[in-house]
Amino acid sequence: MKASFRTIALIGKYKSPEVAEPLLKLARFLERRKVKVLIDPLTGAQVGKTRYPVRSLEALGREAGLAVVIGGDGTMLNIARTLAPHDVALVGVNQGRLGFLTDISVDNMIATISAILGGKFVAEARMMLHGQVRRGSRKMYESLAFNDVVVSKGSKGNMLELEARVDGEFIYNQRADGLIVATPTGSTAYALSSGGPIVHPSLSVMALVPVSPHTLSNRPIVISGDCTVDIIVRNAADPRVHFDSHSHFILREGDRIRVKRYSHALRLLHPAGHSYYSMLRGKLNWNRE
């Protein structure tokens, strides 16, 4: 993580008119703190003409030490995949209900960012995934994922037949609606709704979670983050692979999807006193007696 937060990128939720007011309020506050403010082109289109320089996401990655994302968890997922290779720290501000990743409310945004500038924060390194589709000897597609890489059936609705291997060793053949390879962060996303375990984000592991398997003995399994997972499409009418639901590739029978831990971790900053377990209690209603 870059040591200085003298240059901060502000990124708003795409096509959200409500983002302009809090984003510009934060920009003015940062200016008073002698911080250089940059925004991305899509955010610039939302807030209109301002005095703040507009940079591409890749350029923001090179110039900024911190990015403040105002929106929701979906916005954070999309930005994370672009900025993680540049080792930019991310802070999430949620406009509505607090999320798993965007845990600062708009109401206390200024106070929290002020504390972060003063060094009062909790830092986390979150594991990411790199997925690649191979067709024979050819590389057809590759992408990053913060939550998960999902091989799933398409619009035709037929079950998939998949073969799963870990570090080259055969694990199982499976008939199911899909197979999720999730990071600890992604364990509270699609994998959770499919019966997968909740995994603490400090761990370096991957969870393999079947989606509606034909055989009930096909259960989720947690493996080391150092492993390589291969999923081979054996029989399917309309298969595809999704990366955080933000990008996808249409597969064919025989395609191999290889998933590994990405070489860079995503760095998240939380308010001082942040507790993962407290967040779970609130989001999953564990507070109720």
Q: Mind telling me the catalytic residues?
A: 73
- 3-state helix/strand/coil string of 212-275: CCCCCCCCCEEEECCCCEEEEEEECCCCEEEECCCEEEECCCCCEEEEEECCCCEEEEEECCCC
Instruction: Label residue 27 exposed, middle or buried (CB < 10 Å: 0-12, 13-18, 19+).
Output: buried
Q: Kindly state the tokens that stand for 42.
A: 């899509």
Q: Kindly state the tokens that stand for 205.
A: 């592991």
Phi, psi (rounded to 5 degrees) for 37: -110, 130
Between CA 38 and CA 9 the distance in angstroms is: 5
Beta-carbon contacts of residue 173 (< 8 Å; ≥ 6 apart): 161, 162, 163, 164, 234
